[in-house]
Structure 1
Amino acid sequence: MSSAVTLGLSMAHALELPAKRRMETAQWWNLSRTLYRPWFGRAGHAEGIALLAVPALAVMDPDSRRQSLTSSCALLLANPVLFFSLVAETNRATLRYGDEVPLDVIALRDRWEFGHLGRFMCHLVAFLALAWQSSRES
């Protein structure tokens, strides 16, 4: 369930990407500061639960079914790396600059948007690996 919630959150970012990249930079900056700030530190709880639950499943599962769970674990573990290397800098900048649009707003926007797209792809494949694992059990 936590993997599904995490997938849903990252899918929302992926679906928004084309429209948000067409926005004027000041409009995008204001949206990022106001719409997403309440989520800072909250949306990651489902991801944290998935990061604990999926490896636990891999350890508890018989060897014959462990490969898809291990793949899912690896993809879920890649997400914090993507987050902290791409997305978090823009989150910090929205707090640091406030209403003032920084000079590097386009670079920050692209890092943030494509960082979330990469996270979505990892979440999607991880979720598909979990779903495939579940279907094999039936």
Structure 2
Amino acid sequence: WLFFSCFICTNWYFVLFLWDFDLGFVIRSAHICFTSLLFFLLYVHIFKAIVLIILFDTHILVWAVGFIIYIFIVVIGFIGYVLPCTMMSYWSLTVFSNILATVPVIGVWLCYWIWGSEFINDFTLLKLHVLHVLLPFVLILVIVMHLFCL
């Protein structure tokens, strides 16, 4: 049951199929709740850091690496939102990609790189799934950098 279909027409059915297994809904719900908890703890940490910067002078490198961590977490969360391939997630990917397309010089290239072609297709979902699995490992390395910057 730890299987992912990268086909747009069958992707949502996999999410429904997960509910048929013993504790399958628990795994999906825990994954969703963990994301919300992670963002809550991240914002608490940022608030704590803002309060402490008033009291203590911290290094700019710690803030820069922390901002990179924040961007990584937002991107991983957005990709996870897109993967079930509901209409909301499809159109959010479309809107986000078209916003990226407005970036001068590299915008159209970025949009084409994310989609993999002229439109969102099965290859786009496969690419996003691979990124959703691999980016947390890169995030762990950046978190280690953040800890060593202290």
RCO greater where, 1 or 2, for CA within 8 Å and sep 6 or more?
Answer: 1
TM-score, scaled to structure 2: 0.45
Higher share of residues assigned helix: 1
